[in-house]
Amino acid sequence: MFKIAVLVSGGGTNLQSVIDNVKSGKLDCTIEAVIGDRKCYGVTRAVKAGVQGYIFDRKILKKDLCRAIDKVVSERGVDLIVLAGFLSIIDEEFVNKWKKKIINIHPSLLPKYGGPGMYGIKVHEAVIANKEKESGCTVHYVDTGVDSGEIIKQVKVPVFKDDTAEILQKRVLVQEHRLLPESIEKIIKESKGVC
């Protein structure tokens, strides 16, 4: 059975979409662990769903955060690490060890509006400020850059004239909840040699 771990920093709505897809049988995998880099509802959400949750406070662990995560995912035999609203930067050693086994979801059409400082509402504010006609979300492999890894899947959404950053964020989030499980499913099928 394909095994995943999900890393979170916030409420975990993308995590919930993965949990729901695993429970319905649409995703043929198990969630071995959910790891938060701070106290957050995402970890609570995992525990309520019967998934093992961990909190590794990044302010306490600092440079040892990735070592703590690596220990858990290695012990649990994880095949894929999913960053779902995880705000800590993963160090180079960890990325290299888990090359092509870490994915991230980002709320823009990368490479646009990615990189340092581009996360959460800031992305949508930048899209609105630049009067873009479309935005969306991207799932990509994590490399040693920020939001620079190979793109797995993207979904576009329109940007309307009277959109605020908050309205756009909600529209994009609906698509994130679809895109993340679809991307995991694609990776699982590829791992089994099914296209």
DSSP-derived letter for residue 194 is -
Residue 106 a catalytic site member: yes
Domain at 182, CATH number: 3.40.50.170
Length of the chain: 195
Q: Reply yes or no on whether the pLDDT at 50 is more than 90.
A: yes
3-state secondary structure of 96: helix
Q: Reply yes or no on whether the pLDDT at 31 is more than 80.
A: yes
Round to whole Å and give the CA distance between 81 and 131: 34
Residue of 106, 124, 140, 177 marked catalytic: 106
Furthest-apart CA atoms within the chain: distance in Å: 50
Q: Contact, 108 vs 114, CB < 8 A? A: yes
Q: Which residues does 118 contact at the CB level (< 8 Å), separation at least 6? A: 108, 126, 147
| 192 phi and psi angles, rounded to 5 deg | -95, 0
pLDDT in tens, 66-117: 999 999 999 999 999 999 999 999 999 999 999 999 999 999 999 999 999 9
Residue 193's pLDDT band (cuts 50, 70, 90): confident
What is the pLDDT, as a whole number, of residue 194?
76
How many independent structural domains does the chain possess?
1
Name the nearest CA neighbour of 96 among 41, 23, 44, 145: 145
Round to whole Å and give the CA distance between 178 and 96: 28
Q: Contact, 70 vs 61, CB < 8 A? A: no
Query: Which residues form the domain of 108?
Result: 2-191
CB atoms within 10 A of CB 76: 14
pLDDT in tens, 128-177: 999 999 999 999 999 999 999 999 999 999 999 999 999 999 999 999 99
Tell me the whole-structure pTM to 2 decimals. 0.96
What is the pLDDT, as a whole number, of residue 195?
60
CB atoms within 10 A of CB 169: 19
